[in-house]
Amino acid sequence: MGGNDVGAGRALGIITLVVSAVLGSAYLLGRSLVPGPVRTDSAVTATGADHPEYADQSAPVDTEPRADTEPRADTSQPPPGGEPNGPEQDPSIGPMGTRVGTGTGGVALTFDDGPSPDYTPQVLAILREHHITATFCVVGENAEAYPWLIQQIVADGHTLCNHSWDHDVALGARSPEWIRTDLLRTSAAIRAAAPDAPISWYRQPGGAWTYSVVSVSRDLGMVPLHWTLDPSDWRAPGATRIATSVVDGVRPGSIVLLHDAGGDRQGTVNALYRILPELTSRYDIQALPQRGM
């Protein structure tokens, strides 16, 4: 091979290497500019709980719910009586007219997300031992699955509260018709177990209230029930932390948020052995009125 041929071959090889390097760099740059898959687990991020679908953490009013194909409900107009009326407003009434206190010097314990065959019987037994009644905010699908527990709750004199069919935190953002159907389905499951039991309260999952869900619950004869004290027992921090949070944080008129389902609630059950003796020595502990307030 002549000298010119060798030189031409070397030049061609160098050009090939340069082109390959440029193409490789362009490919890598392009890959870096392409966004990764969009995460759709915002509910998990927002709640930070092992069971986000059952997280009743204190949520700001009108928080943006998870995406849904159902049209958003109109939340621009407050229902009659749904807004605080200035400095003279009853302190037991919170945003959108939700109930955030008992309105008396007494304290109310509320248990959400049940009934559960694992934890509700334990809670009932402890309450019975201390002669205390409470309010149980039950999920419709659980009421349908465990009707005998609904019957036991009623037999022990506790108050029932509608807590939606399947703990839909985004329920308040759905259409009024959707909300109404959900709440009616839940009440029907409760009444199938306990036909004569009053259902005068409604608690929105996650505390994610909207004017629509407040209006519909009121139209169905239920008082929108929020809470005063959330010890975050839904995070399962252990009995000691739950008990300390409740005992130190409770005040006259407090509505305490606790859970008897939706995850491992043994910590809540165990915390009651400290909570109940300490609270009964300082306050009148009773269920919310069965006919509302």
Give catalytic residue positions: 112, 259
Dig out the tokens for 51 from the structure: 């069971």
Report the sign of the C-alpha dihedral through residues 32, 37, 42, 43, in that order. negative
Dig out the tokens for 101 from the structure: 């206190």
Residue listed under structure tokens 């000691």: 240
Q: What angle do CA 293, 217, 219 make, to 5 degrees?
A: 90
Check if the beta carbon of residue 284 is closer than 8 Å to that of residue 109. no
Q: Which residues neighbour 151 within 8 Å (Cβ) at sequence distance 6 or greater?
A: 193, 194
Alpha helices (runs of H) in 194-265, residue ranges in sequence order: 211-219, 239-249
Q: Sheet of 135-138: strands edge to edge?
A: 223-224, 199-202, 159-162, 135-138, 108-112, 255-259
